[in-house]
Amino acid sequence: MPHPLLPSTKWRTPFPNQTQFIHGGDYNPDQWLPDHPDILEQDAKLFRQTGINSASIGIFSWSSLEPSEGTFTFDWLDRVMDQQAKLGNRVILATPSGAMPTWLAEKYPDARRVDAVGRRKQFCDRHNHCWSSPSYHERVKIIDTKLAERYGQHPALAMWHVSNELNGECYCDLCRANWAKWLEARYGNLKALNSANWAYFWAHQAFKWEHVEPTDVVMDNMAVDWRRFNNQQLINWYTHEADILRAFTPAIPITTNFMTTMLNLNYDAISRVVDVVADDQYPSFDSDSPDFALYGAFWSMKQDLYRCFKPGQSFMLMESCPGAIQWRLPHKAKRPGIHRLEMMQAIAHGADGVCYFQFRSGRGSMEKLHGAVVEHWDTEKHTQTRRYRELRSLSDTLEKIAPVLGTGVKPQVAILYDWESRWGQHFSMGTGVKSPEWHVSWLNYYDGITTEQYSYFWQRGIPVDVIPDDRDFAGYKLLIIPMHWMMTAQLSSKLRDFVQAGGTIISTWDTAMTDKANRMLLGGWPGEGLGEVFGVWVEEIDRLPVGTPRAIAGLPGSGSDVACITHLTGATPLATFASDFYTGQPAVTHNPFGNGHAYFIGTRLNTPARDALYDRATNDLSLERIIDADLPLGVTAQLRGTADEAFVFLLNFSAEEKTVPLGSRSLVDAETGETFKREVTLEAVAARVFKITR
């Protein structure tokens, strides 16, 4: 019988005809070649020894490729491409637009960004070009065309990498003119714009499109719009470059690297234009941190979010760090086993490639102390290092688990992740998101609260999809909508239909608070008709300093941070507050609706309270677990497979050895072939892969 949690067929891998996991890294030999002409020969040996089978090349190489306008020096890149082909490696070739050369910045000042106070930036830094600059568009078109012409048919070329970590804002006149055009296209007329912005407030009414001043912080819908607009500028830029490349190499996938859950961007929208989803991740979890498992759950949630960007396709890590990250203080060495755990976690959730920044550390500049595959030891010492042993062993694992490649998972639970809701909540003064605590820990807001809901399933080995709200909900039994701040009539009726048809939905506070213009919904929250589904309306929200406890009765544990003062209009309370002036009023509610159920969480529940609530809400759903036994604390199980084969990943996010009961499962270690029945013992921070035989 097909496994209920597995898709019947394989998914598309990042590279065409991919037969092994991508184990790669940014490779910048152009920084070495001028003083170390033999670096390619040294590195060839190191690539082979370590088992690194892919290289991302040329990401910031513009000044080495075109040292003066119209003079192209491709000889070094020819050598690098040929070297990679000879090694049997596959190349991710970048366009160099992530960093402009000095001559360009000097000759074409419009290529440089203008900051919020109107100053044109000097040549500095990277990721610094104006989105609208005609000169930059043109110069990039020339260099990208040259690259595509020269390397489009190169046997090593497997993927294009557009620019690098596209992000940021420009306030020049051209970008401002595009902003005005964007507003006009979105709102059609000024009345609609002013209404969306609630612009009669403080005399902010716009009498022409140009009146909407992006540096003004008064109208929070405008803050959201400015991000929508910049995201679109970014997409337009990406498309400009991708179109050039695609014209030469229609069969070569194109991507750009994302930055996890970067607040100012909407990666859901961006993911729709790339061929492959690729993330740059730099987790700070460590085995000696008390929050190890919580961070582990966050990064798992992030991987699920990335897996779900493109249904039916696997994703990849474009960057991660195999050692200590120099921009994070203290500059702490990665503890033994942590790197393997981080990489295997990504694979467990659907990555078919794990790559590093970078293959070889530079000798100078800002990133000389950033961990790399090869650091400043000499070639002969390479194999004596811990780094080498860990990466070599990971390469061996990846070879052994090659059958996992292209397999997927089909969860019964989904969490909605809404980038615009995050903006709406963040920029609304009074939500507390911009309070000092926000800067101390993201764990207290959107990503953190989402992770807390996710953790329940993570700890129980129940796979979860993390999806945008325009997906089909039909295949899921349970939908969780943490802080879905913005609500439309369309989404509300889709959620309603889902519950009506027998689905279960769980929401936290701060759902359905505003419309898409970030204006408060009227009539109490959750608004836009969702109150009827939940059987409640919230009159007021008591937002307290992070960590302020709110005692509750009816569920074990307690609440904190927020208290929704809630009226029941059909729901029954599962917990009531036992604190403050709302003692006795509902804190957590349940409402049977149609054939389904709706649960509303009106305070930030701690783990015992959340577990009890989720136990109750999932009790009748018969959610399929990967292992039908209780996993020890800090251990998660994840699943990948097809109708033919299934693989279980056991990941130990704790600093202790853990014995995992296997229930009725029988597992075979995918690396050693050893069979396990009843239980398997995991070392501290272990990450292991098993084939399910029963």
Would you name the residues annotated as active-site residues? 165, 319
Residue partners of 150: CB distance under 8 A and separation at least 6? 74, 78
Of 258, 357, 427, 676, the one binding ligand GAL by CB under 6 A: 357
Tell me the HSE value of 607 on the side-chain side, using a 13 A CA sphere: 9
Q: Give the per-residue SS3 of 66-90.
A: CCECCECCCHHHHHHHHHHHHHCCE
Q: How far apart are CA 367 and CA 361, in angstroms?
A: 7
Least distance (Å) between residue 47 CB and ligand GAL: 19
Which residue's C-beta sits nearest to ligand GAL? 357
Residue 286, SS3 per DSSP:
coil
User: CB-wise, 292 or 357, nearer to ligand GAL?
Assistant: 357
Least distance (Å) between residue 27 CB and ligand GAL: 12
Site string for ligand GAL, 229-268 (x = CB under 6 A): ----------------------------------------
Residue partners of 132: CB distance under 8 A and separation at least 6? 170, 172, 174, 175, 177, 178, 233
Least distance (Å) between residue 342 CB and ligand GAL: 14
Under 8 Å between Cβ of 536 and 598? no
Least distance (Å) between residue 256 CB and ligand GAL: 10
# chain residues binding ligand GAL, by CB under 6 A: 9
Q: How far apart are CA 458 and CA 298, in angstroms?
A: 10
User: CB-wise, 144 or 280, nearer to ligand GAL?
Assistant: 280
Burial class (CB in 10 A: 0-12, 13-18, 19+), 694: exposed
DSSP track, 396-449: HHHHHTGGGTT-B---SEEEE--HHHHHHHHHSTTSSTTSHHHHH-GGGSHHHH
Q: Is 319 in the site for ligand GAL (CB under 6 A)?
A: yes
Q: Is 465 in the site for ligand GAL (CB under 6 A)?
A: no
Least distance (Å) between residue 553 CB and ligand GAL: 47
Q: Is 342 in the site for ligand GAL (CB under 6 A)?
A: no
User: CB-wise, 147 or 166, nearer to ligand GAL?
Assistant: 166
User: CB-wise, 325 or 464, nearer to ligand GAL?
Assistant: 325
Least distance (Å) between residue 158 CB and ligand GAL: 19
Torsion of CA 551, 556, 559, 565, to 10 degrees: -70
User: CB-wise, 56 or 84, nearer to ligand GAL?
Assistant: 56
Torsion of CA 214, 216, 218, 220, to 10 degrees: 30
Q: How far apart are CA 188 and CA 547, in angstroms?
A: 45
Q: Is 280 in the site for ligand GAL (CB under 6 A)?
A: yes
DSSP 134: H
Q: Is 375 in the site for ligand GAL (CB under 6 A)?
A: no
Of 18, 50, 89, 164, the one binding ligand GAL by CB under 6 A: 164
Least distance (Å) between residue 280 CB and ligand GAL: 5
Least distance (Å) between residue 535 CB and ligand GAL: 46
User: CB-wise, 268 or 279, nearer to ligand GAL?
Assistant: 279
Q: How far apart are CA 587 and CA 571, in angstroms?
A: 12
Of 165, 225, 390, 465, the one binding ligand GAL by CB under 6 A: 165
Q: How far apart are CA 687 and CA 635, in angstroms?
A: 10
User: CB-wise, 300 or 320, nearer to ligand GAL?
Assistant: 320
User: CB-wise, 281 or 431, nearer to ligand GAL?
Assistant: 281
Q: How many residues does the chain have?
A: 694
* Preceding omega of 67 cis (within 30 degrees of 0): no
Site of interaction with ligand GAL (CB under 6 A): 164-165, 280, 282, 319, 325, 357, 367, 370
